Structure 1
């Protein structure tokens, strides 16, 4: 099936903008949808052949959100869905990851033609323009993902054949934050957790012990490099 229009749920955020830009590069319309479209989501996604689903950051009940989206896609006859999950979704120590693990199961059982992307931490989440304070160890390994690469990978699986029923972990490079800071020529230090959200505190504690390793070979293969 040729894909001409893709509904991008959460399309006004940085992830959604990256996906829409990559779709435009392929001559495909990305239709960004947000809160204003939620009251009549089935109508908002009508006419799209596929959807890319990004839940709001730290959503308190992501499975409920995804359930509603899947129902709207089914009602509107959108048969293709790509779900934006996270690397290592089933980590009991990180509640927001577990919410994505449960949501992945919902997507797999939705009856739609599905693909799941599991991105690593975004490189763009680190401000490397000056001294960097970090609430976890700068010496643990991460698979970092560039936002543009995420968009390109999403566009590939949304518009090309052969990705149905697939789950892909995505990272652009493997590094520690200390290595990235050294490359940028800025100092990095570990500071106390600011305690802004209990789920973020749980994430920082997990990162401090384990980081979030993600390999790069899957992304390289998807992008043909």
Structure 2
């Protein structure tokens, strides 16, 4: 049995789906007790629990062959909470832990990256058998903007027009996670999950134009005002993240991911080909 935390989110749901497709038993931990038909349809044992309460989570880890530890994004409690869950996993006798980190966690200009870096340090000294997955930014993060792109012919970039990102498809991230959860010979490894091409906003706009069959122009959305205060942690982190992307980009090599997958990583064009975008001149079906 494999436990996946934050299973109600985009990443967790994709990992559960990937494990289900391989006939593996999954316990999906979610943050509330409301129905999760998208997970129960995958034969997952769905359990609502508070990840910050390690004593409540520990019994749910008993007998687990592996744990995929995702912490909710932009949460100031990640370092303390994930550290407590790692201790619970060791007490529960979890066979293997895979921690969902981020590409370049050592980039301290982004506090949510630094939090994951600290968890990786704790994991290394935990006494657990572990692996770490470090994804780049997701191609899927742009999906919510596609209807607006189709309607307006503009792609809004909060990281400017000059720097690139190596966007990765979440399906590839999930397939890599499944490999790390199930395959032998990978303990103690840190694995980057990076898309196959560096994409500037104008390049993304060109790919969107090809998919939609209409002109699309990239527009630089320059942030206004000061960085939000630390008390508003999600907004604070998001602003610092995009400021970092604007200055330095966020790219890497796909070679490690492709070695885990045993195939090429999906391109952004391949990602777009699988998406329906309602409305606009280039309506997709």
Shared topology, TM-score over 0.5?
Answer: yes
Deviation readout 1:127-180 (Å, 9 max, x if unpaired) = 334132222213312121100000100001110101100001111222223212
Deviates more, 1:164-173 or 1:192-201: 192-201
Partner of 2:8: 12
1:212 CA displacement: 0.5
As a proportion of its length, which structure holds more strand? 1
Partner of 2:271: none
Partner of 2:250: 212
Partner of 1:69: 85
1:79 CA displacement: 2.5
Match of 2:146 among 104, 124, 128: 128
Asked whether the equivalents of residues 135 and 193 of structure 1 are also in contact (C-alpha less than 8 Å), the reply is: yes
Deviation readout 1:176-203 (Å, 9 max, x if unpaired) = 2321221111322111326571111111
Partner of 1:27: 23
Asked whether the equivalents of residues 64 and 95 of structure 2 are also in contact (C-alpha less than 8 Å), the reply is: no
Instruction: Give the Cα–Cα distance (whole angstroms) in 1 for the partners of residues 244 and 177 of structure 2.
Output: 27
Match of 1:114 among 121, 125, 130: 130
Tell me if 1:80 matches 2:96: yes
Asked whether the equivalents of residues 55 and 66 of structure 1 are also in contact (C-alpha less than 8 Å), the reply is: yes
Asked whether the equivalents of residues 193 and 204 of structure 1 are also in contact (C-alpha less than 8 Å), the reply is: no
Asked whether the equivalents of residues 160 and 222 of structure 2 are also in contact (C-alpha less than 8 Å), the reply is: no
Tell me if 1:144 matches 2:170: no
Instruction: Give the Cα–Cα distance (whole angstroms) in 2 for the partners of residues 192 and 176 of structure 1.
Output: 15
Q: How many residues align?
A: 221
Q: Structure 1 runs of 4+ off > 4 angstroms?
A: none
Instruction: Give the Cα–Cα distance (whole angstroms) in 2 for the partners of residues 176 and 31 of structure 1.
Output: 39
Query: What secondary structure, in the 3-state scheme, does the structure 1 residue paired with 2:166 have?
Result: strand
- Larger Rg, first or second structure (1 or 2): 2
Instruction: Give the Cα–Cα distance (whole angstroms) in 2 for the partners of residues 190 and 30 of structure 1.
Output: 42
Mapping of residues 52-201 of structure 1, within 5 Å: 52-126=68-142, 127-129=145-147, 130=149, 131-174=154-197, 175-185=199-209, 186-193=216-223, 197-201=235-239
Instruction: Give the Cα–Cα distance (whole angstroms) in 1 for the partners of residues 29 and 204 of structure 2.
Output: 34
Unaligned runs of 5+ in 2: 32-47, 210-215, 229-233, 264-285
Q: TM-score, normalised by structure 1?
A: 0.93
Partner of 2:281: none
RCO higher in 1 or 2 (8 Å CA, sep ≥ 6)? 1
Partner of 2:259: 221
